Amino acid sequence: MNESKTEHLVHQVENWGYYLLPRTNPHSPGHTGLLVAIRETPTRMHFDPESIKVQILDQDGTPEWATLHRKWRLWAPSRICAGRVILRDRLKKTVEFFTFGGMIESVSVPGETVYSLRSPAPVIELTETSESPSDDFVFEVEALIGKLHAAWGKDDTGFGRHLGQTDPEQLYVASLYTVLVQLKQTQALREGHPELYTLLLEEKGWLKKANRWPAAPPMLEQLLAP
């Protein structure tokens, strides 16, 4: 990575332990990326992450859990699998995110390593104290993916490879569409999550205006079938 880009990334997180990049639009459930600064000396002024737990695809395209820290070095941008991204500090406090997949890379300067996670689909921060519509969306998607994983039987590797190699934006659209269909078909579910329903309808509207909504979006079970 060139020097100017390294300086830019380090500058963006100079006052933070992590920094969420802007949303594509006000209705998006998440952000376009996540920057994480892991420092040799904690600032003690905010959440100071000391590690990142994330699933990185290996050379065969199979996701493997990795714990990244300050002395870890990603020599090239690496693809990550859909799922949780977990930041942990020295006090074992965690901050969690959900991603539909993307790329992660790192830059290092003396005493500090900055990890940059980017995705064409939203990176969603999970709230710690109370559930938000974005949290509800993540929980619904995780439950759906879990059920589809079961359809692969004992072939965990095959499912992981298929999920990891699925285009993040396609996975996001399919997830959004599938949850919307469920909400529309089940009145009790829709009435129980009115803010989630509104959020997803508004996001679908924005995606259509941005020409990022396909004419016939797939359901998740079509996208992740064995």
77 & 172 share domain: no
Tell me what pLDDT residue 108 has.
87
62 & 94 share domain: yes
pLDDT in tens, 104-148: 999 888 889 999 999 999 999 999 777 899 999 999 999 999 999
Residue 71 — pLDDT band, cuts 50, 70, 90? confident
182 & 91 share domain: no
* Beta-bridge mates of residue 83: 99
115 & 56 share domain: yes
pLDDT in tens, 170-219: 999 999 999 999 999 988 888 888 999 999 999 999 999 999 999 999 99
Contact (CB, 8 A) for 119 and 172 = no
164 & 216 share domain: yes
From the list 27, 21, 20, 32, the residue with the least C-alpha distance to 209 is 27
Phi, psi of 134 (to 5 degrees): -65, -40
117 & 69 share domain: yes
Query: How many angstroms separate the Cα of 165 from the Cα of each of 191, 204, 224?
Result: 35, 24, 11
Domain containing 193 equals: 133-223
Where do we find the tokens 């395209």? 61
119 & 29 share domain: yes
109 & 152 share domain: no
